[in-house]
Chains A and B, each alone.
Chain A
Amino acid sequence: MMTLTQDDWTAITLTLQLASIVTTILLIISTPLAWWLARSHRWWKAPVNALVAMPLVLPPTVLGFYLLVAMGPAGPIGHFTAFFGMNGLAFSFWGLVIGSCLYSLPFVVQPIQNAFQAMGNRPLEVASTLGAGPIDRFFSVIFPLCKPGFITGAILGFAHTVGEFGVVLMIGGNIPGETRVVSVQLYDHVESLQYDSAHGLALILILFAFFTLTGLFIVQRRQQTGMIVQE
């Protein structure tokens, strides 16, 4: 029943590659963004929060459509890439990375933001009176105390990128080894009535989702019990 072709394996590798790159980029972007969202009192914090959270409620096709327009030869990103003599980002792996970053952003930002908020200012104040500078504070206090938030963010970002379909279809198209990720490959199988192959990929995705989420809830439970003991 489970017959994975060479194409299927290529799609799986590509998906994992994409998800790893996107997760790494998102962790780097989300940390300062989440910090700002957790600490700022500026009035424009709410709109920024909404912008970050928008992919949660928007159909992926909307985001995909605008990205396609922007990355196309006539769009602003298209002009930018053309100016620097690069190929267009639409229908390319890196276009997919950008789209996935935007689309998975809230899944990484929000857990980290929550962790920052739950931590409060006190550990930072203590650390600074003990002589820790800003960078020292981040690595010696903020990161260890908010580690569950970072782990949750990373897991959700990774899993969500693996499971993404709409944005990929809109801006990535269906180029084998370049933009054809697992979800698109599965769609192709179904389209061409290759149900056996579709079963194989679908089962892999289900197992992946199940174990990822189990891992996630273990992390979260540990975080909660940790908090209870702390009180």
Chain B
Amino acid sequence: MHFTQHTSNANKEKHCDEGIHLTLKVPTSPYPFWESHRYYGYAASIKKRVKHTLVNTFASTVFSDKKTALPFSLSGQYRLTIETDIPGQGITAIFGPSGSGKTTLLRCLAGLECVPNSKVQFKGSVWQSPSQFIPPNKRPIGMVFQEPSLFSHLTVEENLRYAIKRAKPFPSHGSATPNSEINKNVINKKTLVELLGIEHLLNHNTKVLSGGERQRVAMARTLLTQPQLLLMDEPLSALDAARKQEVLPYLERLKEELNIPVVYVSHSVEEVSRLADHLMVIENGECTAAGSIHTLPLSPSVHFQSESQQAVIIDAFLSERDTQYGLIKADFPGGHLWVKDSGNALHSPQRLQIQAKDVSIALTEPSNTSVLNRLPVVITEIRSSSNAMATLVLTIGNDDNHSTQLLAQVTKRSVDNLGLQTGMPVWAMIKSIAIAR
């Protein structure tokens, strides 16, 4: 499967303007995109069509943006106020409780909501500014909705062809050579249909498909428009637990196979820890935290997980197999762990999740214990969380660029009994490790 070259090359070419910049002020009732003229007037679209002509001057003088004075700004009520940057690579999870504005953010990014006084910029090209609004059909995006939303008047195959016919050409990003021919089939139908396991459904009517199948078809359809940015709005939340487990592996395969930045809205900790590279937490219409999935769960202000579920996510690399005991060695910066062999290939990446409550502390190297994974660590921070418990931030490995952090949850009494202090070298015993992927 070789449809990743272009995007990676493109990423190398663009040293600046890599990611997505967003400045959003979303009122409580924004207009749908087909009424964008209410904010931008017809001038914006007219201007676009007759660029570099005399009419341009005429349009801007005659239809100057009279409509930017907006009634609701007087009330000052916003559903979402955000100014942020989203990385142009990997999966960024927008995480937060229901009604926090996650979906609104995604819809603004897609251009489905037309919001004034806002700015959306993707890799240097402006999608929305106070004077300009690019409608969704002209943005190089793909969107997977919460409900599969297949066209019921078309078969599965026709749904896919609908997307292929309208595949979005890659914008030139200011470079003079539009290399659309090379990119036209970056994601080809055959590979994708195999990847998502929907080849046997192609001739079916969409109405006979199960929820999971529909969502997989919807994903294929979205990807076939050759998007440069994939937006996913809780794609698994409409599915029951079993269907979710059916679709998640496909999502992970997509992540490995395609090199498109993804913005993934979710309120599920499980999905986020399995898929995300970056995390953005939204609460009450504001971004409360943003950062890498590996470091963000360490910061105390993040309500990403409830206290009892605090966990870190480590991206490890499988290096050695112990066939006698059915274990596999997972290397990560600063150390290694032995985990249950789940049959994944050697030399492949493996995401591990270690819960804070599964990590305990010993002052000396524990020798007579059943715990297999014992690591020398340094306490970098002691945080008293609730009444009885304290959370320790532990660093494995002494080199700054070559270390990994862990969380451990212990009682405050143990902190005092052992005399634990910041900077102290101790041993961490890890009782269980979840294989997140």
Contacts and interface: CB of A to CB of B under 8 A. Distances in A.
Interface string B159-192: 0001100111000000000000000000000000
* Interface size class, chain B: 20 to 34
A133 B149 CA distance: 18
A144 B151 CA distance: 10
Contact of A145 (B34, B152, B221): B152
Given A122-B145, A229-B207, A129 B152 contact: no
B153 A144 contact: yes
B58 to A, nearest CB: 24
A130 B153 contact: no
B137 A125 contact: no
Decide if the interface of chain A is mainly helix, strand, loop or mixed: helix
Interface residues of A, number: 23
A123 B154 CA distance: 12
A226 interface: yes
A123 B143 contact: no
Interface in B259-278: none
Interface string A71-110: 0000000000000000000000000000000000000000
A6 interface: no
A140 interface: yes
Interface string A131-167: 1111010001100110100000000000000000000
B169 to A, nearest CB: 10
A128 B162 contact: no
B390 interface: no
Contact of B162 (A121, A122, A140, A226): A140
Contact of A130 (B111, B112, B162, B231): B162
A62 interface: no
Contacts of B162: 130, 140
Given A125-B136, A128-B135, A145-B152, 13 more contacts: A128-B33, A128-B136, A129-B137, A129-B141, A131-B137, A131-B168, A133-B135, A133-B137, A140-B162, A141-B151, A145-B151, A147-B153, A230-B207
24 contacts: A121-B32, A128-B33, A128-B112, A128-B135, A128-B136, A128-B137, A129-B136, A129-B137, A129-B141, A129-B143, A129-B222, A130-B142, A130-B162, A130-B163, A130-B222, A131-B137, A131-B166, A131-B167, A131-B168, A133-B135, A133-B137, A136-B166, A145-B153, A230-B207
